Amino acid sequence: MGRLRMAIKPKLGRRARLLLLLAVGILLGLAAWGIISRKAEMAAAPRFQPEPVAVHTATARAEELARSRQYLAEAEAVRAAALSARVTERITGITVDEGDAVVEGDPLVQLDRAAVDTRLDGVAADLEQARAERAAEEARRDALADSAAYWRKELERLQRLREDEAVSQSAVDEAADRVNEARGNLAAARQRVKALTARLASLRARQAELRQERADYTLKAPFAGVVTERTVDPGDQAAPGKPLIRISSTEQMRLAFGVPRADRPAVAAGRTVRLELDGGTREATISRIHPALDTARLARAEVDLPAGTALPPGAEVPVTVALPPIEGAALIPADALAGGDERPTVYVVRDGKARARPVTVQGRSGGRVAVAGIEPGAAVVTTPYLGWTRLADGMPVTEATP
């Protein structure tokens, strides 16, 4: 009986294991069937589609882009002079102010010339004394010349008488001594006259120098024009190199403006310039561009105006420089550019979706931009509804109602 029970127990264990495996298999089959059914349901369910973004579009056109640059120019005189003194002295008077018109030779600034006047008076006194001394010496020279001539003739007479033994040899010798003395005194007198003449010449030269120096104490207008700057008042100290007054001639004027480095390749001498003068528009050309940059890193451009152009120095004049046109590019509205200046991008509408296209900006004028990277005729997005942040490559779009 005991052996029979032991034989039945192993058989029951194998059956239980089979039942367990069968149950597990059924459960796995049910799970697999559930997954497959769920996938089929999901595949059959409608997919999520984002709402199209409303946009405005424009057509890129193959047209020539006329370009220009606008600047603010300042009028200045072609001929101008900053007056400064040649001596260090106190200013005693100024006859003009900024904006005053002057003619050539007008006295503008007077310096204190008391010291130079004193020196001139001293030289004038020395001149009078030297003239008197020379006149006296010339009279003495003439008298000595007469005396020398007399004793020369007297010696000749005594020598003839001596040949006839009518006079003594001592009388002849005495006359010869008188002749020699007269000649010596005459030579000395002539030397003194010569020295006094040289002194007079030196004094006259010194007088001319002082008169020229005194002229430097009065600053005059070098040419006709307008006083554009005055930096001193009576009582101030003038010194060499220190500007006192600036005069500008209005006969020939020019316009000057700064050109940024980015514009330099296009803005060159000879370009046409439109000027806004007297309520009208005139045309001129850029006369020259100085390559050296100023402190603001701008190149100086100059436009010479026709002679007689009525324009005060310092006046500001708007100028427009015409640049060479751009040809062969696609022209789009400026508001079609996205991505900023570093990564300019244009969204092209194709098959109901926005496609991002990187472009190269070749030029701008007003509200139009010439770009390379898209074909003329393409529809480009100009204004997405709620801004560019709502737009991405491949996003569905729809034309917004204007």
Q: What pLDDT was estimated at residue 121?
A: 94
Do 249 and 101 lie in one domain? The reply is: yes
> Can you tell me the distance from the alpha carbon of 297 to that of 387, in angstroms, rounded to the nearest whole number?
36
Q: What pLDDT was estimated at residue 50?
A: 63
Question: DSSP letters along 208-273, please?
Answer: HHHHHHHHTTEEE-SSSEEEEEE---TTPEE-BT---EEEE-SSSEEEEEEE-GGGTTT--TT-EE
Stretch among 4-8, 63-67, 123-127, 142-146 having the lowest mean pLDDT: 4-8
> Can you tell me the distance from the alpha carbon of 85 to that of 71, in angstroms, rounded to the nearest whole number?
38
> Can you tell me the distance from the alpha carbon of 89 to that of 216, in angstroms, rounded to the nearest whole number?
11
Minimal CA–CA distance to 312: which of 75, 36, 13? 75
Higher pLDDT, 171 or 277: 171
In percent, the amount of the chain with pLDDT more than 90 equals 37
> Can you tell me the distance from the alpha carbon of 143 to that of 193, in angstroms, rounded to the nearest whole number?
13
Do 224 and 317 lie in one domain? The reply is: yes
Minimal CA–CA distance to 281: which of 254, 244, 320? 320
> Can you tell me the distance from the alpha carbon of 169 to that of 172, in angstroms, rounded to the nearest whole number?
5
In percent, the amount of the chain with pLDDT more than 70 equals 90
Segment 333-389, tens digit of pLDDT: 988 888 777 888 899 988 888 888 999 888 887 788 898 988 888 889 987 655 656
pLDDT at 44 over 70: no
Do 57 and 76 lie in one domain? The reply is: no
**Of 193, 215, 237, the domain-final residue:** 215
Minimal CA–CA distance to 246: which of 31, 102, 105, 379? 102
pLDDT at 5 over 50: no
pLDDT at 24 over 50: yes
pLDDT at 13 over 60: yes
**Of 274, 292, 325, the domain-final residue:** 325
Segment 240-294, tens digit of pLDDT: 999 999 999 888 889 999 998 878 888 889 998 998 877 778 889 999 998 777 7
Do 8 and 99 lie in one domain? The reply is: no
* Structural domain of 382: 53-64+328-399
Q: Tell me the two tokens of residue 304.
A: 């010479």
Do 276 and 356 lie in one domain? The reply is: no
Q: pLDDT class for 2, splitting at 50, 70, 90?
A: very low
Backbone angles phi, psi at 76, to 5 degrees: -145, 155
Domain count, the chain: 4
Do 156 and 185 lie in one domain? The reply is: yes
Do 31 and 99 lie in one domain? The reply is: no
Do 35 and 76 lie in one domain? The reply is: no
Q: Give me the residues paired with residue 370 across strands.
A: 331, 363
Q: pLDDT class for 48, splitting at 50, 70, 90?
A: very low
Q: Give me the residues paired with residue 369 across strands.
A: 332, 364
Backbone angles phi, psi at 101, to 5 degrees: -85, 140
> What is the rounded average pLDDT of the residues 174-187?
90
Do 232 and 375 lie in one domain? The reply is: no
Segment 191-219, tens digit of pLDDT: 999 999 999 999 999 999 999 889 999 99
Cβ neighbors of 352 (< 8 A, separation 6 or more) are 52, 396, 397, 398
> What is the rounded average pLDDT of the residues 221-228?
91
Q: What pLDDT was estimated at residue 155?
A: 86
Q: pLDDT class for 35, splitting at 50, 70, 90?
A: confident
Cβ neighbors of 113 (< 8 A, separation 6 or more) are 89, 214, 217, 218
**Of 286, 304, 325, the domain-final residue:** 325
> What is the rounded average pLDDT of the residues 58-67?
86
Minimal CA–CA distance to 242: which of 80, 89, 77? 89
> Can you tell me the distance from the alpha carbon of 261 to that of 98, in angstroms, rounded to the nearest whole number?
35
pLDDT at 27 over 90: no
Do 263 and 285 lie in one domain? The reply is: yes
Higher pLDDT, 13 or 307: 307
Minimal CA–CA distance to 367: which of 319, 324, 332? 332
| CB atoms inside a 10 Å sphere around CB 89 | 19
What type of residue sits at position 385? Y
Q: What pLDDT was estimated at residue 65?
A: 84
Stretch among 121-130, 144-153, 359-368 having the lowest mean pLDDT: 359-368
Do 306 and 248 lie in one domain? The reply is: yes
Strand pairing report for 345-350 and 280-285 = unpaired
What type of residue sits at position 61? R
Query: In this structure, are residues 303 and 255 in contact, taking their beta carbons and an 8 Å threshold?
Result: yes
User: Rounded mean pLDDT of the chain?
Assistant: 85
CB environment 225-251: b (16+ within 10 A), e (fewer): bbbbbbebeeeeebeeeeebbbbbbbe
Do 287 and 346 lie in one domain? The reply is: no
Query: In this structure, are residues 62 and 330 in contact, taking their beta carbons and an 8 Å threshold?
Result: yes
Q: Say which CATH number the domain at 78 has.
A: 2.40.30.170
Q: pLDDT class for 41, splitting at 50, 70, 90?
A: low
Higher pLDDT, 34 or 248: 248
> If you compute the radius of gyration of the chain from its CA atoms, what whole number of angstroms results?
55
Strand pairing report for 53-59 and 397-399 = parallel
